[in-house]
């Protein structure tokens, strides 16, 4: 039983005794207990009011392996000092412990603290809400005040640095031009138009501009040989997870260059598929290649092919929140989406599935003029029961460049070491 309830019970007993006997001693005890309760409640109420708590998040986007910094400032706005104040944080970011018990805060004074959280999981998380709690010096009564302001933080998936990537040779020496205009400079000139504010100087057609006596810029069309599509297998039935893991037994332990700390990629095929997709996208976008992303999770998720930093941000934001909850087999995804791609495009298929049927879809894609790189996430190394060897052989026979990513191996190792068929 709490102290407040004990004193309240004693007050009721003394009040009944005072009313029954009418003696002054009973009334004195009842008055003293009532005053004690009143002072405790008022003190607790003052402890959680006339306060200002500000939290400052230095960034709203982080990446697995990086550190998120937050600053908190608690200010006493009243003339009455705060004896103690507990600030409890209910953020959902794993490993984020921002709760504090602040001691004496004088009149018009403030106390601050800083939190550094190592981001170990991708996803979208909330920062907040907060709960402020305080009480009287004796600990008779405590009062709470919720602060429901919530911010969000997006943690990008882990990325492996790649030095090279095996792309199959083209079926044609050039490629068929797509009748789709682009603001990027390509090898396919489509026409000219008048200069507009914001056009780059390297797009100006100087001979024609001199002839017309006004600035004229060149327009370009996309080349399908430069388009790369990343297709991920997020079917829930194809995924394998180890139930328990640690830094020494389970996932992939990577050293963060900027800090001496390490992070562990969970030993789940889903996380390897996501990180492999993010690493591949970053590699090609740095080379100014057009990248598209496609997956079937709870919904069909498609990012049209594009270049640049903005496209990388879009891909990272999507990969941060994707979950392997799909119900469509990967071979059906490849068959349906491969028919919509232009001839000469490159498809990077990433899957933990051991079903040989998706090798048949790859064969159909290669026959239709697509180039395919198949990255097989070996589910057997994650505790799966089916070996990936039959699938690997079928993919090689279908004309795909095959690489195998196993638990505990980096994507760079898997890419740079061709497998023996």
- HEC sequence for 228-267: EEEEECCEHHHCCECCCCECCCECEEEECCCCCCEEEECC
Specify the DSSP class assigned to residue 172.
Answer: S
Rounded Cα gap, residues 378 and 389, in angstroms: 9
User: Can you give the pLDDT at residue 163?
Assistant: 87
Q: What is the DSSP annotation of 186-204?
A: -SEEEEEEE--TT--GGGB
In which band, very low, low, confident or very high, does the pLDDT at 244 lie, cut at 50, 70 and 90?
low
Domain ranges across the chain: 3-48, 51-156, 181-221, 224-416
User: Can you give the pLDDT at residue 225?
Assistant: 53
User: Can you give the pLDDT at residue 288?
Assistant: 85
Rounded Cα gap, residues 259 and 360, in angstroms: 45
Q: Which residue has the higher pLDDT, 253 or 37?
A: 37
* Structural fold of domain 224-416: Rossmann fold (3.40.50)
Question: What proportion of the chain, given as a percentage, has pLDDT over 70?
Answer: 87
In which band, very low, low, confident or very high, does the pLDDT at 172 lie, cut at 50, 70 and 90?
very low
Give the least confident one: 48-62, 196-210, 269-283. Answer: 196-210
Q: Which residue has the higher pLDDT, 205 or 312?
A: 312
Q: What are phi and psi of 275, to 5 degrees?
A: -70, -35
Residue 309 confidence (pLDDT) above 80: yes
Q: Quick one: average pLDDT of 340-357?
A: 92
Residue 200 confidence (pLDDT) above 80: no
Taking only the tens place, the pLDDT of each residue in 94-131 is: 999 999 999 999 999 999 999 999 998 999 999 999 99
CATH homologous superfamily of 51-156: Immunoglobulins (2.60.40.10)
- List C-alpha distances in Å: 293 to 161, 304, 318, 325, 336: 19, 7, 9, 17, 15
Q: Quick one: average pLDDT of 40-44?
A: 94
Are 37 and 132 spatial neighbours (Cβ–Cβ below 8 Å)? no
Sheet with 100-102: strands ordered across? 100-102, 85-89, 130-135, 142-147
Rounded Cα gap, residues 193 and 244, in angstroms: 61
Residue 253 confidence (pLDDT) above 80: no
Q: Quick one: average pLDDT of 41-50?
A: 94
Left (φ > 0), alpha (ψ -120 to 50) or beta: where does 349 sit?
Answer: beta
């Amino acid at each position: 039983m709490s102290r407040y309830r004990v004193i309240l019970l004693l007050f009721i007993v003394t009040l009944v005794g005072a009313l029954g006997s009418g003696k002054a001693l009973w009334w004195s005890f009842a008055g003293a207990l009532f005053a004690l309760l009143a002072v405790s409640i008022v003190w607790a109420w003052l402890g959680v009011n006339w306060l200002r708590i500000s939290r400052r998040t230095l960034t709203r986007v982080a990446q697995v392996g990086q550190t998120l910094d937050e600053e908190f400032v608690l200010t006493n706005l009243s003339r009455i000092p705060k004896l103690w104040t507990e600030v409890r944080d209910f953020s959902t970011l794993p490993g984020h412990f921002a709760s504090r018990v602040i001691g004496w805060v004088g009149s018009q004074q403030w106390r601050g603290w800083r939190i550094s959280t190592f981001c170990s999981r991708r996803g979208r998380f909330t920062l907040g809400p907060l709960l402020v709690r305080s009480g009287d010096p004796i600990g008779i009564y405590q009062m709470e005040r919720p602060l429901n302001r919530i911010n969000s933080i997006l943690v990008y998936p882990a990325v492996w640095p790649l030095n090279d990537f095996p792309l199959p040779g083209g079926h044609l020496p050039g490629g068929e031009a797509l009748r789709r205009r682009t603001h990027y400079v390509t090898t396919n000139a489509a026409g000219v138009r008048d200069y507009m504010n914001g056009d780059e100087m390297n797009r100006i057609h100087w001979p024609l501009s001199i002839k017309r006596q006004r600035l004229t810029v060149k327009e370009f069309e996309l080349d399908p040989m430069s388009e790369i599509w990343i297709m991920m297998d997020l079917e829930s039935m194809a995924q394998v997870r180890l139930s328990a893991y640690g830094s020494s037994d389970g996932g992939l332990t990577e050293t963060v260059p900027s800090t001496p700390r390490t992070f562990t990629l969970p030993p789940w095929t889903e996380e390897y598929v996501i990180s492999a997709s993010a690493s591949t996208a970053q590699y090609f976008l740095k080379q100014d290649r057009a990248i598209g992303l496609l997956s079937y999770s709870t919904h069909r998720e498609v990012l049209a092919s594009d270049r640049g930093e903005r496209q990388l941000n879009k891909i990272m934001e999507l990969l941060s929140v994707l979950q392997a909850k799909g119900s469509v087999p990967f071979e059906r995804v490849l068959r349906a989406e491969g028919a919509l791609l232009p001839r000469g495009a490159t498809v990077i298929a990433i899957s933990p599935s051991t079903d040989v049927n998706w090798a048949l879809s790859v064969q159909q894609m290669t026959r239709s003029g697509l180039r395919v790189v198949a990255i097989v996430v070996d589910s057997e190394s994650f505790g799966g029961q089916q070996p990936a060897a039959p699938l690997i052989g079928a993919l090689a026979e279908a004309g795909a460049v095959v690489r195998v990513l196993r638990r505990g191996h980096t994507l760079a190792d898997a890419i740079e070491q061709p497998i023996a068929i």
